[in-house]
C-alpha cells in the first residue's frame, strides 16, 4: 500500500494572469514529480466575490474568499501565494509570515527598497521558526537557463567579460492601449524596469553567480496619457476623465558593472514591436560564450573558444534530454516545454525545500537585492549619475 503523504494547504491571493499560471503549477507539480508534500489548493482570494468564485471553479481551488486576512487566518492554509499588484505585497506577505505561513511572492518583491527591507527582515525572523519564503523569479526554472548557469559554474566560459540582457515586449506599443494598474506607479512601483527588467537583472546574476555592483541608467515614457477603460477603477485618472496619466516608464536602459569585473548592458521595454516575450541573454568570457532567447526557450547556444577557429562558432543545444534539469519529469527527448513549465518547476523546488526543511531560492533577501538595483537605476536616470548598489 502506498504511504499517504502529508499535504501542504495553499491559499492564493489574486486570480488574474499570474493567478492562472500559478494555479496550473499547483495543480500539476505533484502529478509529474515526486514531492515530499502534496499541495492542496484550499482557497483563492480576490475582491470580486463572483469572479473569484468562478476562478476557483475554473482553476481547481476548493474554496474562494474576498479578504486575504481570512485566508491567512485559516488553519488549513500552510502557504500563502501572493499574486497581487506590488503595492500589496509587503502587507500580505508580512502578515502571513507573522501568522506562521510559508510565503511565495511574485516579483518584484515590493514597490520600494523600504518595503522590501521590511519583508526580508520579516522573512529572516520567520526562518528562525522554520517558516520559509521564496520570490517568484520563475525564469530561473527554464532548463536552458539552468544549463547556462552550470556551464558558467563549471568554468566553461572562463573569466566573464560581457553580459548583455534584454527583455522585449510590444503590448503597449499602441498609444491607445488602455490604462491598467501596471501603468500606475502607486500600484506597480515602476513600469518596464520592475515588471520585466527585474527578471533579467535576476537572471544575469543567477547565471553568472555574480552581483551587479554599479549602474548608470535611463528611463523613458513614450506615451504620457492613455484611455481609461471601464474597469480601470483605482487608477490615477480624474473621475469621469477619458484619459489618464501614465506614471511609470515605458522603457529602461542601463549599463552595469559586476563585482567580478564583467560589464553589462540591459534593456527592458514594452514598445519593441514584433517582440512578444523576448528574454535575450548573451555572456562572453575568455573561454567561451553562451546565448539564450526565451522565444526559442528550449535551446541554448554555446561557443567553446578553446577550440580551433575551424571548429568555432556557436553550437545549438536542444535542452530536452532527461538529464537536463527538470526535463525528466515530462516528455521524451525533443518534445519541448513551454512558459507554464517554469512555474511548475518553481513549485517543485519550493515544496522539495519545505519537505527538507531548507530555504528555497531565490529568497526574500535575493528579492531585496534586485529591488536595490531597480532603485539605483531609477535614481541614476533622475540624477544622470552612476549609482552603487548597497551590499
Q: Is residue 390 part of a domain?
A: no
283 forms beta bridges with: 163, 290
What's the pLDDT band for 3 if we cut at 50, 70, 90?
low
Tell whether 17 is covered by a domain: yes
Task: Indicate whether 104 and 197 sit together in one domain.
Answer: no
Taking the C-alpha atoms of residue 41 and residue 39, their distance in angstroms, rounded to an integer, is 6
| Long-range interactions of 316-320: CB distance < 8 A, separation 24+ | 317/144, 317/147, 319/143, 319/144, 319/147, 320/143
Residues 296 and 350 in one domain: yes
Range of the domain at 277: 142-383
Residue 364, number of CB atoms within 10 A of its CB: 30
Do residues 192 and 63 share a domain? Answer: no
Q: E strand or H helix at 160, and its extent?
A: strand 160-168
pLDDT at residue 233 tops 50: no
Give the pLDDT confidence of 193-211 residue by residue, as tens digits. 999 999 999 999 999 999 9
What is the band of 308 on the pLDDT scale with cuts at 50, 70, 90? very high
With cell 540591459, the residue in question is: 266
In the chain, % of residues over pLDDT 90: 94
Beta carbons of 162 and 264 less than 8 angstroms apart: yes
pLDDT in tens, 25-80: 999 999 999 999 999 999 999 999 999 999 999 999 999 999 999 999 999 999 99
CATH code of 180's domain = 3.30.360.10
**What pLDDT sits at residue 311?**
86
Q: How far is CA 124 from CA 129, 217, 227, 350, in A?
A: 9, 31, 43, 17
CA–CA distance, 105 with 132 (Å, rounded to integer): 11
Say whether pLDDT at 232 is over 90. no
Residues 68 and 158 in one domain: no
> What global pTM score does this model have?
0.95
CATH for 24 = 3.40.50.720
Amino acid at each position: 500500500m502506498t504511504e499517504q503523504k502529508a499535504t501542504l494547504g495553499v491559499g492564493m491571493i489574486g486570480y488574474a494572469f499570474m493567478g492562472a499560471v500559478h494555479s496550473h503549477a499547483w495543480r500539476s507539480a505533484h502529478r509529474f514529480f515526486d514531492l515530499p508534500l502534496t499541495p492542496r489548493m484550499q482557497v483563492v482570494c480576490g475582491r470580486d466575490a463572483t469572479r473569484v468564485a468562478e476562478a476557483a471553479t475554473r482553476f481547481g481551488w476548493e474554496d474562494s474568499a474576498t479578504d486575504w486576512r481570512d485566508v491567512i487566518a485559516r488553519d488549513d492554509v500552510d502557504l500563502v501565494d501572493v499574486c497581487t499588484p506590488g503595492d500589496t505585497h509587503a502587507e500580505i506577505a508580512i502578515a502571513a509570515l507573522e501568522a506562521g505561513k510559508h510565503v511565495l511572492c511574485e516579483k518584484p518583491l515590493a514597490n520600494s527598497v523600504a518595503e522590501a527591507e521590511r519583508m526580508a527582515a520579516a522573512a529572516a525572523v520567520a526562518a528562525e521558526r522554520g517558516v520559509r519564503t521564496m520570490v517568484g523569479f520563475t525564469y530561473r526554472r527554464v532548463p536552458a537557463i539552468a544549463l547556462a548557469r552550470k556551464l558558467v559554474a563549471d568554468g566553461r566560459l572562463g573569466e566573464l567579460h560581457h553580459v548583455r540582457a534584454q527583455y522585449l515586449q510590444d503590448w503597449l506599443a499602441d498609444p491607445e492601449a488602455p490604462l491598467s494598474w501596471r501603468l500606475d506607479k502607486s500600484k506597480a512601483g515602476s513600469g518596464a524596469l520592475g515588471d520585466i527588467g527585474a527578471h533579467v537583472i535576476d537572471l544575469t546574476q543567477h547565471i553568472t553567480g555574480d552581483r551587479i555592483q554599479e549602474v548608470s541608467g535611463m528611463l523613458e515614457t513614450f506615451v504620457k496619457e492613455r484611455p481609461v477603460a471601464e474597469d480601470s477603477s483605482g487608477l490615477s485618472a480624474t473621475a469621469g476623465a477619458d484619459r489618464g496619466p501614465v506614471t511609470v516608464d515605458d522603457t529602461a536602459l542601463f549599463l552595469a558593472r559586476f563585482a567580478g569585473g564583467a560589464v553589462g548592458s540591459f534593456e527592458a521595454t514594452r514598445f519593441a514591436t514584433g517582440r512578444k516575450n523576448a528574454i535575450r541573454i548573451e555572456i562572453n568570457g575568455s573561454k567561451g560564450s553562451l546565448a539564450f532567447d526565451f522565444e526559442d526557450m528550449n535551446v541554448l547556444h554555446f561557443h567553446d573558444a578553446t577550440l580551433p577557429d575551424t571548429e568555432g562558432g556557436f553550437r545549438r543545444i536542444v535542452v530536452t534530454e532527461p538529464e537536463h534539469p527538470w526535463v525528466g519529469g515530462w516528455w521524451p527527448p525533443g518534445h519541448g516545454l513551454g512558459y507554464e513549465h517554469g512555474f511548475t518547476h518553481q513549485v517543485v523546488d519550493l515544496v522539495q525545500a519545505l519537505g527538507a526543511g531548507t530555504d528555497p531560492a531565490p529568497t526574500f533577501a535575493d528579492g531585496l537585492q534586485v529591488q536595490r538595483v531597480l532603485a539605483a537605476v531609477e535614481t541614476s536616470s533622475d540624477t544622470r549619475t552612476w549609482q552603487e548598489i548597497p551590499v
